[in-house]
């Protein structure tokens, strides 16, 4: 649904691997969140395990995740920028007023991230969390969802397992480290957000500066515009392409999901070695039953299995069930 070259996976209620510029090249391990009060209480939301995942409709890969905790709720909406190699995430934190939101990015550049350089830097008067390795760069920018002003406060770069942001919270119960650089090695970045409703832009490019340019430019428009544009594009495609005439009502949603899968598998290469990344230090398990794959605006892993069940004589070229 656009020139963007991103494939995105979602699991444990956060963004997992993002593939760029091909479906066989993961560039991050995950992008998650920590909620903390600065006084010793902190929760890494992917370990909270109390969340729900919804989409605007069958076959529409715009993801909304709601995390629930006795002290807070965190709502995430995830959609691509259709015109850039940028993933947009709107994060809204509600609950106890003293709680703040932190974003934790683990780059996995070139599929391993073993020799990455991470840095907190300023680009166009905005703070950016970036990393690069070889021919790839990643940059994470943030904006207030209302004013679109820079939303980062403190930020830190560190080595995974030694000086990264998660280790800071695990050791001190709060964010106390503010290192500006880390690397070369397996690195991670942590950023403290100044507002409780923000938009994050995760950009990819040939180096961290080009990735930052894309991320910052994607934040110049309200998230709501990108969200609805993405949804409308898919709704229009389904209306033109999918004919559910003759399809039993209980299978119509599955037909739309399956058509979405086929839309991606017929236009871009697939067949990722899903477990390959787990051989890297600190990598998490992949392809769990809860993982959703946007496939650069498009695919559900669970739906791929559904599609295999519907393929064959029950489907025609125009996704018409008879």
- Profile the chain (322 residues) by mean pLDDT over runs of 10 residues: 82 95 93 97 96 95 96 97 96 98 97 96 97 98 95 98 97 98 98 98 97 97 95 93 88 90 59 34 38 36 30 34 42
Residue 75 CB burial class (10 angstroms; 0-12, 13-18, ≥19)? middle
The whole-model pTM stands at: 0.83
Contacts of 202 (CB under 8 A, 6+ apart): 15, 18, 28, 31, 86, 87, 88, 89, 105, 138, 139, 140, 215
pLDDT score of 314:
31
**C-alpha closest to that of 317 among 269, 245, 265, 259:** 259
284 falls within a domain: no
In the prediction, which pLDDT does 263 show? 76
Domain-located, residue 19: yes
Closest CA relative to residue 322, chosen from 241, 243, 240, 247? 247
Residue 228 lies in a domain: no
pLDDT the model gives residue 1:
62
Domain containing 152 — which CATH number? Answer: 2.70.98.10
Q: Is residue 105 part of a domain?
A: yes
Tell me how far CA of residue 66 lies from CA of 18, 107, 310, in angstroms.
21, 24, 31
168's enclosing H/E stretch is: helix 165-172
Q: Provide the domain limits for residue 215.
A: 7-221
Give CA–CA dist 84/80, Å, rounded: 8
Counted domains in the chain? 1
Tell whether 128 is covered by a domain.
yes
DSSP state of 288: -
| pLDDT score, position 304 | 32
Q: How crowded is residue 269: how many other Cβ atoms within 10 Å of its Cβ?
A: 9
Q: Is residue 134 in a domain?
A: yes
Residue 203 forms part of a structural domain? yes
- For helices 249-265 and 223-241, the axis angle rounded to 10 degrees is 110
pLDDT (0 to 100) of residue 4:
81
The reported pLDDT for the residue numbered 288 is 33
Q: Is residue 72 included in any domain, yes or no?
A: yes
Q: How many CB atoms sit inside 10 A of residue 292's CB?
A: 21
Tokens of 161: 């397992």
pLDDT of 117 reads 98
DSSP line for 176-238 = ----SEEEEESEEEEEEESSSEEEEEEEEESSHHHHHHHHHHHTTS-HHHHHHHHHHHHHHHH
Residues 156, 189: Cα–Cα separation, whole Å: 6
């Amino acid at each position: 649904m656009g020139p963007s070259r991103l494939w995105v996976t979602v699991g444990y209620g956060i963004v997992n691997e993002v593939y760029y510029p091909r479906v066989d090249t993961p560039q991050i391990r995950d992008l998650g969140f920590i909620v903390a009060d600065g006084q010793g209480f902190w929760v890494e939301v992917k370990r909270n395990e109390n969340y729900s995942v919804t989409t605007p409709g069958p076959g529409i890969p715009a993801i909304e995740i709601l995390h629930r905790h006795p002290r807070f709720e965190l709502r995430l909406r995830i959609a691509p920028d259709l015109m850039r190699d940028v993933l947009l995430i709107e994060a809204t934190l509600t609950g106890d007023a003293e709680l703040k939101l932190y974003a934790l990015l683990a780059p996995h550049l070139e599929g391993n991230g073993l020799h990455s350089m991470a840095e907190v830097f300023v680009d166009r008067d905005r703070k950016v969390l970036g990393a690069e390795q070889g021919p790839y760069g990643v940059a994470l920018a943030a904006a207030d969802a209302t004013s679109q002003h820079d939303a980062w406060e403190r930020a830190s770069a560190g080595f995974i397992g030694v000086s990264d942001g998660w280790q800071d919270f695990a050791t001190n119960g709060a964010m106390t480290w503010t290192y500006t650089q880390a690397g070369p090695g397996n690195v991670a970045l942590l950023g403290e957000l100044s507002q409780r409703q923000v938009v994050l832009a995760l950009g990819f490019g040939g180096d961290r500066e080009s990735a930052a340019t894309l991320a910052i430019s994607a934040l110049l428009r309200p998230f709501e515009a990108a969200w609805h544009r993405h949804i409308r594009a898919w709704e229009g495609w389904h209306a033109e392409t999918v004919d559910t005439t003759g399809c039993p009502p209980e299978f119509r949603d599955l037909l739309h999901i399956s058509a979405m899968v086929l839309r991606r598998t017929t236009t871009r290469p697939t067949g990722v070695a899903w477990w390959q990344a787990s051989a890297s230090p600190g990598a998490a398990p992949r392809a769990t039953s809860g993982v959703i794959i946007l496939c650069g605006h498009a695919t559900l892993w669970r739906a791929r299995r559904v599609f295999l069940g519907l393929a064959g004589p029950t489907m025609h070229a125009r996704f018409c069930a008879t």
